[in-house]
Amino acid sequence: MRAFQVTAFDENPRLVTFDDPTPGTGEVLLEIAACGLNFADLLMAKGTYQDTPKPPFTLGMEVCGTVIGHGPDVSEPAIGTRVAVFGGQGGLAEKGVFPAAMCRPVPDTMPDDIAAGFMVAYGTSHLALTRRAGLQKGETLLVLGAAGGVGLTAVEVGKAMGATVIAVARGAAKLAIAQAAGADHLIDSDTDDIKSAVKALGGADVVYDPVGGDAFKAALGACNREARVIVIGFASGGVPQIPANILLVKNITVVGFYWGGYLAFNAQALTDSLAELMAWHAAGKLKPHVSHRVPLDQAADALELMRSRKSTGKVVVTP
């Protein structure tokens, strides 16, 4: 089988060939149909992600595939079941072993490429907006990086929760995608002053920020009293320093959120969140956007699409 591996952090990841893996206790072997890429894959390739394993390892945090083998004492999911799983690594391959307990059956209404990129992006936005920010119907949600992998899902989830959504993205093409996902107001970060534009729309009650840097500062300045700012990531490369005096004066709360971290201390929260999201998808409330579908032998190009910000929504690799 082939896999796209990090062999050393000072070298580019590359395709390698080796024998099929054998599932261990509590694991299943999947024939992988699709792997959804995430910004974290770029960080992991450089060794800068918080959960980066030691090389060699296979990139690809989430997959959709079919169960073709069981480890000892495993009987479910049954052989032949199509599942989605967040494994943290191992997805950019033709086959892979993953914990059976983390595999979730995929409904027939959800194609492989959608299921492969569904869990992290939608799970992040849903749990962040419901559990951490407590977004309420009628509030104004400001989404930075609104055409990206998680940002676009925040637009959809925010609208499904009854919020007025302000989308910030770079350029008319990306803003059009955010608008199609339900955004009520559009701000072009290439040409508009984010702070002034948001304040002109009445300010933000909740800020969803996977970008960081100057965009974070601008959004903070446009917050209403008792606003909640959710820190999702730092795609800009800049980790902002938060001026505590602004938090104090306007009673603002800054909330950190790391979806994968819940696996260690409250996996049930992820399970419940994903169950609701699957129901929303089945009901037609969510329409996942995949901008690029790329074969495994072009996995390096797929990562570059994200690095160069040429993608919108999800990039999916199909072994």
pLDDT at 39: 87
Comparing C-alpha atoms, which of 20, 3, 1, 23 is closest to residue 79? 23
Residues 215 and 127 in one domain: yes
For residue 160, is it within any domain? yes
Residues 27 and 99 in one domain: yes
Q: Return the CATH number at 58.
A: 3.90.180.10
Average confidence (pLDDT) over 94-115: 93
For residue 80, is it within any domain? yes
pLDDT confidence tier of residue 232, bands split at 50, 70 and 90: very high
190-213: b or e for each residue (b if 16 or more CB lie within 10 Å)? eeeebbebbeebebbbbbbbbbbb
**Domains: count for the chain:** 2
Q: 């209403």: which residue's tokens?
A: 224
Cα-based distances in Å from 45 to 35, 252, 297, 300, 312: 16, 35, 17, 11, 21
Query: In the listed set 260, 277, 301, which residue is the last one of a domain according to the structure?
Result: 260
The pLDDT tens digits for 11-45 are 899 999 999 999 999 999 999 999 999 988 999 99
pLDDT at 99: 92
pLDDT at 114: 95
The pLDDT tens digits for 157-169 are 999 999 999 999 9
**What is the C-alpha to C-alpha distance for residues 169 and 157, in angstroms, rounded to an integer?**
17
Comparing C-alpha atoms, which of 204, 212, 228, 90 is closest to residue 150? 212
**What is the C-alpha to C-alpha distance for residues 262 and 243, in angstroms, rounded to an integer?**
28
- Whether residue 130 is predicted with pLDDT greater than 90 in this model: the reply is yes
For residue 279, is it within any domain? no
**What is the C-alpha to C-alpha distance for residues 222 and 205, in angstroms, rounded to an integer?**
9
- Whether residue 50 is predicted with pLDDT greater than 90 in this model: the reply is no
For residue 147, is it within any domain? yes
- Whether residue 237 is predicted with pLDDT greater than 90 in this model: the reply is no
Average confidence (pLDDT) over 87-94: 93
Domain that holds residue 302: 2-118+288-318
Residues 140 and 164 in one domain: yes
pLDDT confidence tier of residue 52, bands split at 50, 70 and 90: confident
Q: Return the CATH number at 220.
A: 3.40.50.720
pLDDT at 236: 80
Residues 62 and 128 in one domain: no
For residue 274, is it within any domain? no
- Whether residue 264 is predicted with pLDDT greater than 90 in this model: the reply is no
pLDDT at 260: 83
- Whether residue 267 is predicted with pLDDT greater than 90 in this model: the reply is no
Average confidence (pLDDT) over 278-284: 91
Residues 86 and 215 in one domain: no
The pLDDT tens digits for 55-90 are 999 999 999 999 999 999 988 999 999 999 998 899
Percent of all residues in the chain with a pLDDT value above 70, rounded to a whole number? 100
The answer to whether 287 touches 181, Cβ cutoff 8 Å, is yes
The pLDDT tens digits for 167-211 are 999 999 999 999 999 999 999 999 999 999 999 999 999 999 999
For residue 273, is it within any domain? no
- Whether residue 252 is predicted with pLDDT greater than 90 in this model: the reply is yes
Residues 38 and 96 in one domain: yes
Residues 250 and 194 in one domain: yes
Residues 40 and 145 in one domain: no
Residues 131 and 228 in one domain: yes
pLDDT at 235: 84
Residues 108 and 159 in one domain: no
For residue 74, is it within any domain? yes
Residues 169 and 196 in one domain: yes
For residue 280, is it within any domain? no
Phi-psi region of 181 (alpha: psi -120 to 50; beta: other; left: phi over 0): alpha
pLDDT at 122: 94
Comparing C-alpha atoms, which of 22, 30, 96, 26 is closest to residue 58? 96
Tokens for 97?
């072993």
Query: In the listed set 221, 240, 260, which residue is the last one of a domain according to the structure?
Result: 260
- Whether residue 238 is predicted with pLDDT greater than 90 in this model: the reply is no
Residues 99 and 127 in one domain: no
The pLDDT tens digits for 135-149 are 999 999 999 999 988
Calculate the average pLDDT of the chain: 93
Tokens for 178?
């955010």
